[in-house]
Amino acid sequence: MDFLATICIQALHLLFSGEPDTMAAIRATLRSSFAALAAAFMLGAPCGFFLGYAHFPGKRMLRLLVETSLSIPTVVIGLVVYGLLTRRGPLGEWGLLFTVPGMSLGLTLLAFPLVVAHVASGVAALDQRLRPTLWTLGASPWRACWTTLHEARHAVFCALATAFGRVVSEVGIAMMVGGNIKGVTRTMTTAIALETNKGEFAQGFALGLVLLGIALATNLALSLVRRRMGGAE
């Protein structure tokens, strides 16, 4: 117990004193995570809406592929992105390997199917009478789509929260694509793994507290949004 108490005190000191390495890991994590979340949402939300709303040949197979992609090991995604960004790869000239934007690209590929799957499921689960009712009321195609998406807003926010929680806690992609460069691409998760292996438990514990705080804040924000939307209804 004395050991854990000492580690906890040291971890809080690192956080409140603004220790440079700890703050750098937090900044790298948040920068890459928010960039990946924005890109995944802008690309994935329209795709998910179309997948859940439209009817076309091969829809079931496409949904199966999207749902299957949710279980792809993250190290495989990291390997693919590494191959794309390495100097001999097709995107090597961009110089994104071992950079925060490069990590964001890998995290975007991780979050994209999550957003697509959640939004598609939310739209598909709506009352099937919604669409003909909107058409009967004279709604334009764009108005009908917007109203449908509004009705599925809980699934949209759930997709955002799930995707953010996944990318902010990712290790494999951050390690392979980012390179775990101190002060540049070292994220909270890679720093925790590294510092714990070195016996530096205080910094790892401090970053773990930050991750727990982010998870708690994300869930509280999602619950607040759901309550307000429920009250508005």
What DSSP assignment string belongs to 102-122? HHHHHHHHHHHHHHHHHHHHH
Contact between 45 and 160 (Cβ < 8 Å): no
Domains of the chain: 20-232 (1.10.3720.10)
pTM beyond 0.75: yes
Q: What is the pLDDT along the chain (233 residues), one digit of tens a residue?
A: 677 778 888 888 888 888 898 899 999 999 999 999 999 999 999 999 999 888 888 888 999 999 888 888 899 999 999 999 998 889 989 989 999 999 999 999 999 999 999 999 988 888 777 777 777 777 777 887 788 877 888 888 888 888 998 999 899 899 999 988 888 999 999 999 888 888 778 888 899 999 999 888 888 887 877 777 665 55
Beta carbons of 144 and 52 less than 8 angstroms apart: no
Distance CA 5, CA 21 (A): 22
